[in-house]
Structure 1
Amino acid sequence: MYYIDHYTVKDIPILEVAPINQKSDPLPTVIFIHGIHSAKEHNLHYAYYLAEKGFRVILQDCLYHGERANKQSFQEITFQFWNIVIHSIEELKDIYQYLNGENKLKNNSIGVAGTSMGAIITLGALTKYDWIQTAVSLMGNPAYVEFAAMQIENIRKMGIQLPLSDELINAQIEILKEYDLSQQPDTLNNRPLMFWHGEKDPIVPFESAYSFFEQVKKRYTNQEHFQFYRDPQADHKVSRFGVLKTAEWFEQHLKSKLVPSSH
């Protein structure tokens, strides 16, 4: 049996999922972040598989999403993509401080994961927070500056007018450099990191993430801590293998350090 609690941390709507008989216990914890135009409830299947393995799972609504949605159009939210990413990285600190203050973390064991935009947020957060012990990127891209340039080029090719001046775009790119994991891979510091990506992904290019993996893997002293699962047939949708492998990854790299696995 599992419980789902709904509350807010500052302005952030949260769903918390864990085994009901351990509700009051400190537990190894995973923060799972949704993609753009999605919401926290859409990732409850990940929370189920993780809770089944004894984790507390935190799902939040990112800015302009779910309970935080306002009257912005689909396109307006899309144009806010990088603002949402940076805002969400900063909000992870608030969530972490809340979990710590409420004694919800067992031995400070905490991981972060996400799909698409949520995976991009996860990878950027690794440049900022050394308290993240392990992470999973599902269809993410660590190369913020390169990806942003590609997005701008694609928008212009479609003949869509960007609502920003070139000066503002360049200023935004400068900010992105601070969070660009591809430009500061040393911040990983051998922390376990798993990628899953479909090779036919038309939205977040597979090649960029895989190129990063190939360049960085030699930095890892333990290759088992740095893995890339590629799906030749998948596009921008995580396979069942990817979903289950995410739960296994956290069991192996977050929970196994605390207690012997019961699975």
Structure 2
Amino acid sequence: MIQIDYREVNGIPYAEVVDASLKDQVLPIVVFYHGWTGSKDRVVTIGVELAKRGMRAVLPDQHLHGDRGVRLIGGEIWEIVANNIKELPILKEEFRSRGLLDETKFGVSGLSMGGISTYALFNQYPDITAAASLMGNADPARFAKWTISSIWMTGATQEQCEALEAEIEKNKAFLDAMALAKHPEHIHGRPLFLWHGTADDKVPYELNKEFYETIKDEPYAKNVEWHETPGEGHRVPHQIFEEVADFFQRVFQ
């Protein structure tokens, strides 16, 4: 039986999904991040798939989301991603203190904003064993510039677009510091599963595929996998959740 426990550590609410018969054992851990306006409850499906394969899934509510209160006005994504970078060690220490952490089997994953966070976390923390980014982007500044002419800015005035572009330029150093695209050698041969739908209009497939094509032949990227679904938009099919769970099960053997 799969068990879902709701917990909190240092103000971070999270759902812990695990096979009830294994809950007190040291298991591989995967922290999975939801998307923009989502919550931990919206990604329980992937948690169940991970738990069915003998892993412990940790699903946090990100800053300004879920039980932390939804107060979004539209420009907070990079604040949220930076906050995930700050908070991951807190989540990891939670399981270390409970005697449930295997340091060699600790993964991260996420979709959309969570997939962007996954790239940033993989760039920042060499102790992450493996990662899976779904509908993500490895270059925050480039993605932010793309949004100016995207569906995200439908109805925006020329003045608003120019203001956003100026804001991106002002914060470029901050954004580049998070960018795995700027430091791809930080992959260090670790397993990385990438997926995107080819018709995504919210996080561009083309930029993500271009990142993969740039790194795929490098020695540090020997364990990077690219997966795509033709015609799929900004949505993760259940089959992909199953493939991600299979991926982590394989690399954590």
Task: Please give the TM-score of this superposition, normalised by the length of structure 2.
Answer: 0.92
1:143 aligns with 2:142: no
**How far apart in 1 are the matches of 2:231 and 2:160?**
34
Give the C-alpha shift of residue 98 in structure 1: 1.5
Among 210, 217, 241, the residue aligned to 1:243: 241
**How far apart in 2 are the matches of 1:175 and 1:153?**
22
**How far apart in 2 are the matches of 1:219 and 1:103?**
37
Q: In the alignment, which residue of structure 2 is the partner of 1:132?
A: 128
Aligned partner letter, 1:43: V
**How far apart in 1 are the matches of 2:162 and 2:91?**
32
8 Å CA contact retained: 2:187, 2:220: no
8 Å CA contact retained: 2:138, 2:211: yes
**How far apart in 1 are the matches of 2:143 and 2:123?**
17
**How far apart in 1 are the matches of 2:209 and 2:226?**
8
Give the C-alpha shift of residue 107 in structure 1: 4.5
Aligned partner letter, 2:243: K
**How far apart in 2 are the matches of 1:165 and 1:231?**
31
1:33 aligns with 2:33: yes
Give the C-alpha shift of residue 169 in structure 1: 3.8
1:161-201 per-residue CA deviation (whole Å, 9 max, x = no partner) reads: 37978765433222011110111000000110011100000
8 Å CA contact retained: 2:188, 2:220: no
Aligned partner letter, 2:182: Q
1:100-139 correspondence to structure 2 within 5 Å: 100-139=96-135
**How far apart in 1 are the matches of 2:193 and 2:80?**
23
1:5-60 per-residue CA deviation (whole Å, 9 max, x = no partner) reads: 11111010011111111111111100000000100001111011110000001000
| SS in structure 1 at match of 2:38 | coil
Give the C-alpha shift of residue 153 in structure 1: 4.5
**How far apart in 1 are the matches of 2:246 and 2:224?**
14
| SS in structure 2 at match of 1:57 | strand
1:60-75 correspondence to structure 2 within 5 Å: 60-70=60-70, 72-73=71-72
Aligned partner letter, 2:251: H
1:1-263 correspondence to structure 2 within 5 Å: 1-70=1-70, 72-73=71-72, 76=73, 78-154=74-150, 155=153, 158-159=156-157, 161=160, 168-220=167-219, 223=222, 225-254=223-252, 256=253
**How far apart in 1 are the matches of 2:102 and 2:94?**
14
8 Å CA contact retained: 1:35, 1:117: yes
| SS in structure 1 at match of 2:17 | strand
Aligned partner letter, 2:185: D
Aligned partner letter, 2:63: L
| SS in structure 1 at match of 2:137 | coil
Task: Please give the TM-score of this superposition, normalised by the length of structure 1.
Answer: 0.89
Aligned partner letter, 2:3: Y
Mark the runs of 5 or more structure 2 residues left unpaired by the alignment. Answer: none
Mark the runs of 5 or more structure 1 residues left unpaired by the alignment. Answer: 257-263
1:129-151 per-residue CA deviation (whole Å, 9 max, x = no partner) reads: 11111000110011111001112
**How far apart in 1 are the matches of 2:129 and 2:37?**
28
**How far apart in 2 are the matches of 1:164 and 1:95?**
36
- What number of residue pairs does the alignment pair up? 250
Give the C-alpha shift of residue 220 in structure 1: 3.4
Cα RMSD, aligned residues only: 2.0
Q: After superposing the two structures, state which structure 1 stretch, 98-107 or 152-161, moved more.
A: 152-161
Distance 1:162 1:63, change over 3 A: farther
Percent of aligned pairs with the same amino acid: 30
Aligned partner letter, 1:23: K
Give the C-alpha shift of residue 99 in structure 1: 1.6
8 Å CA contact retained: 1:220, 1:226: no
**How far apart in 2 are the matches of 1:164 and 1:211?**
27
